[in-house]
Amino acid sequence: MLTSEQKRDQLAKLSALAELGGGEARIAKHHEQGKFTARERIQKLLDSDSFIEFDKYVVHRNSSFGMEKTKYLGDGVVTGIGTINGQQVAIFSQDFTCWGGALGAAFAKKICKVMDFALENKIPVIGINDSGGARIQEGVDALAGYAEIFYRNVQASGVIPQISLIMGPCAGGAVYSPAMTDFIFMVEKTSYMFVTGPDVIKTVTHEEVTKEALGGATSHNEKSGVAHFKCEDEDDCFERVRELFSFIPSCNKAKNTPKLTTDPVNRANNKLKNFIPDNSKKPYDMKELIVEVVDDQHFMEVHRDFAKNILTGFASIGGIKVGIVANQPSFLAGCLDIDSSVKAARFVRFCDAFNIPIITLVDVPGFLPGTVQEYGGIIRHGAKLLYAYCEASVPLITLITRKAYGGAYDVMASKHIRSDINLAYPSAEIAVMGAEGAVNIIFRNELAGLKGAEFDKKKAELVLNYEDEFANPYRAAELGYIDEILLPEETRKRLHQYLVALKHKKHTLPDRKHGNIPL
């Protein structure tokens, strides 16, 4: 029988063995690739000394293909709880040094256990993915493990924030768990996501493509929109995750705590006095307007490299945390298209799920025309953004800075789809379409018989008259569709006042299982 001291020694040895993962040689190789180990990642991401590990000594029970000869304590994944900025989180970190991070039944069971803990205790869950995929030796047990995780992703959706960090390969069925989480972070040059890899693609379609071009951080941030953040290295990734947690709550029932700031709430936005160009066709950078208005010039942009014609991200105004959606006139004139509609819709739904007020800044000339958009389903995809805004029950504040034309005016959180407060600058233009297009339709017969200089003079006169009549916010204000026309330098002060007024907003949704968003 072991003595008390011997039992202590036994625990220390087993603990040290578990912490070695796949062994020192594999750890060294991992480091050579510029990657941290599963445990190092947890230590770097979480607050110091906050990590409490679950299931440190779990091993697999598989005896097929000689698997019983190789067992690692923890079975290739580190799970537990800790804190980020003092906020409790659950976490799992896949260990590539153990069978290349391949998922088996015990591995999956550990992840499911920590996800269940997160959901029951209403705390966010973070998954650090670095895996070659399913553990082939375990066959259908590995596939069952993935499905158990997918099911929990869906149950947790909209209840607790789910964050995925891709810090190595993530392929095949493994990609669908991150895909169902709220935000995906990827690291340049070292992380990859794809359903089928380059070798399979070459065999089936004869296309030759590298891992980086197929599923690297740049591809998924700029082209597919699968990932939300592209990070320079793993340390940068950890900092970005900690930044994100300064804006989001622990669960859908948690009250949003104020964000500390010393930025005076009544600070005048003098930079904005003449910021909007008089020429309505001249672009400007909406991001500059956002940075001028929010606390400490801190705007955490989400999906920065994807669908650049719309901006989404987090900020605070007077310490009140908000989500911001804004058309970007400096890219595609701020038109709505397929990608921007889906990008904004997803962000609006996240903010609504977690009770984060939404500020919408509008400068939109309409939906992007063309066969590519129509054949790609702009009607269906544009409807996603409309649906998201109509469904949202959080405080909604809309500010029209310049153009708000046609159906895009309706979609961008207009008063008619129940935005709480609708504001406009004096430079706002609210109309069915731009002056030139409207004149071509309304006065088609009148202009038909004119040619040359006479035609140009008459059309210019009609365009000017139309602009005087409709290229302003006053007709909409007369009808009560605009609550206030404010000077740009008052933007920050007014937005804060309205956010305070809407603090206790309650909106009851229809009694239904769920709506049928046009997916």
Side chain identity, residue 340: S
Active site residue 437: no
Q: Could you tell me the two tokens for 361?
A: 């800044």
Distances (CA, A) of 181 to 295, 356, 411, 478, 503: 28, 18, 26, 44, 28
249 exposure class (CB count in 10 Å sphere: 0-12, 13-18, 19+): buried
Beta bridge partners of 364: 404
Catalytic residue among 319, 407, 437, 477: 407
The sheet that has 183-187: what strands, in order across it?
Answer: 52-54, 77-84, 87-94, 125-129, 162-166, 183-187, 229-231
Helix (H, G, I), strand (E, B) or coil at 450: coil
Identify whether 23 is a catalytic site residue.
no
How far is Cα 111 from Cα 178, in angstroms, rounded to an integer? Answer: 13
172 is an active site residue: yes
Q: How far is CA 193 from the centre of its chain?
A: 17
Distances (CA, A) of 335 to 219, 314, 328: 23, 22, 8
- The answer to whether 348 and 385 are in contact (CB under 8 A) is yes
* Active-site annotation holds for 435: no
Amino acid at 405: Y
Q: Which of 404, 408, 431, 476 is catalytic?
A: 408
Could you tell me if 338 and 345 are in contact, meaning their C-beta atoms sit under 8 angstroms apart?
no
Count Cβ neighbours within 10 Å for each residue of 479-489 and write b for 16 or more, e otherwise: eebbbebbebb
Confirm if 106 and 67 have CB atoms less than 8 A apart.
no
Q: Of these residues, 139, 172, 319, 437, which one is catalytic?
A: 172
- Transcribe 372-425 into DSSP letters: HHHHHTHHHHHHHHHHHHHH--S-EEEEEEEEEEHHHHHHTT-GGGT-SEEEE-
Return all residues near 148 (Cβ < 8 A) that are at least 6 apart: 108, 109, 112
Residues 6+ apart with CB under 8 A from 99: 22, 70, 72, 76, 132, 135
Which residue in this structure is represented by tokens 């296309």?
207
CB 436 within 8 A of CB 462: no
Question: E strands along 40-182, which residues?
Answer: 52-54, 77-84, 87-94, 125-129, 162-166, 169-171
Q: Could you give the CA distance from residue 98 to residue 403 in angstroms, rounded to a whole number?
A: 56
SS3 content of the chain, % helix, strand, coil (to 5): 45, 20, 40
> Which is catalytic among the residues 173, 197, 319, 437?
173
DSSP bridge pairs for 367 = 336
- The residues annotated with a catalytic role in the active site are 172-173, 407-408
